[in-house]
Structure 1
């Protein structure tokens, strides 16, 4: 090429009709999926409404468990209490000391760049399930799912503790929940007690059926 010859412009790329159809379809699918996901998140965090109630099952299928939101649109309500769950067992030798189950989860999460979903949520959600299905005054079940909540919480505790303590089989287990108010920020005039408030559950009998399927 001589110095007086101008460079030729690059040839414009021409997309074939099949390629344009594939790109267009992919774009429509991506936009549709994004719109559906954002719509599900909106209905999940929005106040109760007819549309959200009608498609509750579909919304829950999109949101849980990976995209759960612990707040509501227009009225954010972050947790203001720290909740811990402890357990103790009974054997033929007597009653053992309280075992801090929540503290075990916290120890497994802290400093772990990829904490287990079970460590973060299993015990917490099990307690929420029990609390929502039982009267806090007398621990009686308030609905048909009450016995399932008891079994779920009991089996989590037994999986952590095992079948025996000091060589003696476990015959009973008791759980308690400690609730401690989150301290207000230094600039706030609010005050709160730093002492935990405990809610002790009744003793539950333990037999071989409670260990079925547990590792």
Structure 2
């Protein structure tokens, strides 16, 4: 009985330490250069020769701001409204963990190797190197696979002839499971984004609204 009690105490202790570690990692990542503002003044983000005019309240961190230009910005919005950071929604943004916030990056696609240039090629690379084929199951139209990393799953779907994929934490593996993906906007630019796994069933509207927001940034220089 003493041995069993010791094992149970050890298991609980390890789990608590794991949860604390995950929360600490999230906090440190979220707060690296974390500097959100309520201002809606626009800053220019240059990517692959294109200009995006981004309101300041959609930027939560960056490496540098020079005059009216922002460099390497990390962006965020609130699901499902896709509003920027405001006094009214501040509490929703600042909740610990993944809740209604989506974070995203708009980046140069030239950084990809040729075998990773498109959504389908990146999905196939995951199938080849990171998923466990025999774990295949289905959920809400997705093919779902366990990844070789113990706490992740791979979700794959073809919609209107285009491939979409998400790497998600297993629901019980972390305190606040999330899903992330990378998607080409065009041949030159891609977006990578992360949101709470609880919103995955609404992935189509999230994706379409995010693309609409990014397109608005592209035209939003008036």
Which has a greater percent of strand? 2
When Rg is computed on C-alpha atoms for both structures, the one with the higher figure is 1
Q: Please report the TM-score for the alignment, with normalisation by the length of structure 1.
A: 0.23
Which has a greater percent of helix? 1
